[in-house]
Amino acid sequence: MAFNIAPVSTLQKNELYFHLYLHHTYGGSNPNQTLIVDPKLPTKFGRTVVNDWPVYDGNGTDKTIVARAQGVHIQAAMSLRRWENYFSIVFEDDRFKGSSLQVMGPVVEQGEWAIVGGTGQFRMAQGIIFKKVLEAKADGNILELDIHAFYYGGQPWTLGV
C-alpha cells in the first residue's frame, strides 16, 4: 500500500467571493426540478425533489450560465413544512470548469446555506452562501447568492506515487 503524507504548511489556502443568481423554476413548460418521491403523507414528510438549477453571472439580459446547482431537496420535518437542500454547484465556465462546491441547508426565502466541501480548484472548500429571493414569479423565483468560502489551491494531490 502506497501513501503520501505532506505537512500542512505546503497547502495554499485561498478565499473566494462570488455574487451569482440561481433560477429556480418549479412550474411552467420548462421546470428545472421534478418530484421523484411522494409518500402522500398529510405533512408531505419524505417528499423528494431532484433539481438542476442554472446559476448565472448576472441578472440582466446578457447573463451567462456559469454553473448548475444539481442535487435534491427533501421535506425533512413531520410536524411542519420544512425542506432541506443537498446539492453541488458544478461550474461550467472556462475558468472553473469541472470544479464544484458542495452545499447544504434549509429552504427558506432568505437565509444561509453551508459550503461543506469542494472539488477541483475549490478542493476542501468551507464557507457560507447568503441567499435571498430577488424576484418571485408564478412558476419559480430568482435567488441572489453571495458566496464566501475558503479553499485549498495549488497542485493536485496524488496517491500512490
Q: For position 51, what pLDDT does the model report?
A: 96
Q: For position 120, what pLDDT does the model report?
A: 93
- Cβ neighbours of residue 73 closer than 8 Å, sequence gap 6 or more: 33, 48, 49, 51, 83, 84, 85, 86, 87, 107
| Global pTM value | 0.86
75 — alpha (psi -120 to 50), left (phi > 0) or beta? beta
Q: What is the largest CA-CA distance in the chain?
A: 57
Q: For position 115, what pLDDT does the model report?
A: 98
AA identity, residue 139: D
What residue ranges of the chain have pLDDT lower than 70? Answer: 1-11, 154-161
Contact by Cβ (8 Å): 47, 40: no
CATH 2.40.480.10 is the classification of domain 15-153:
yes
Whose CA is closest to 16, among 151, 135, 156?
151
Q: For position 1, what pLDDT does the model report?
A: 59
